[in-house]
Amino acid sequence: MSRQLEDQFRLSSGQYKLSGMTGSIRYMAPEVAKKLPYDLSVDVYSFGIIFWEICSTLTPFDNYTAEEHSKFIIRNKKRPKIDPLWPQKWSNLIRQSWDDDGFIRPTFDEIEKLLQNEYLRKKKTEIFQQKISTSNLAYLIKKFQSNLKNKRETAINGCWNADLFTAIV
């Protein structure tokens, strides 16, 4: 968050009553823009927008004025378009992170766990694919060598038998 949270501003819900409108509006959670009480989940909202930006390589809400942002993003809950080709878990994470309701957003502990699991899954898949590729390559080389050996033997035997037959006749 952009400021140190002090207990004197903490509400019974665990949220804080602060000034709002702190930070860049492009990455600002709706509750901050509306000057409502908020908690650490506002940073998760910002993370969701930044993660979308990283995945898309686009600037979110690039052509929006402050008034348009307020109308479309804050009031009408519009969000950037998620590419259907992105991994489903990433798309779900982004959608949950920028949910209008801060209580629905995942915690950073949950985000970290999901991203670590995805990284490990991808690593295991790469290692598995590499083993399969190496195994397939080794198999193909052995098969090629075996075929080559068989062809040589056939050719040699064919020549030998043909030469022998010719010499005898």
Q: Between residues 125 and 106, which one has the greater pLDDT?
A: 106
In a 3-state reduction of DSSP, which class is residue 16? strand
Question: What is the pLDDT, as a whole number, of residue 1?
Answer: 43
| Least confident stretch, 9-13, 38-42, 48-52 | 9-13
69 vs 53, residue with greater confidence = 53
Q: pTM above the 0.85 mark? A: no
pLDDT of residue 142: 81
Q: How confident is the model at residue 138 (pLDDT cuts 50, 70, 90)?
A: confident
CA distance 105 to 45: 7
Q: Is the pLDDT of residue 161 over 80?
A: no
CATH 1.10.510.10, applies to 7-106: yes
Task: Express each pLDDT in 15-26 by its tens digit.
Answer: 555 555 556 888
| 5 band by pLDDT with thresholds 50, 70 and 90 | low
User: Which residue, 31, 29, 76, 75, is CA-closest to 50?
Assistant: 29
pLDDT at 29 over 90: yes
pLDDT (0 to 100) of residue 105: 98
What secondary structure does DSSP assign to 83-142, as a single string?
A: PTTS-HHHHHHHHHHT-SSTTTSPPHHHHHHHHHHHHHHHHHHHHHHHHHHHHHHHHHHH
- Confidence class of residue 30 from pLDDT cuts 50, 70 and 90? very high
pLDDT score for 73: 86
pLDDT at residue 160 greater than cutoff 60: no
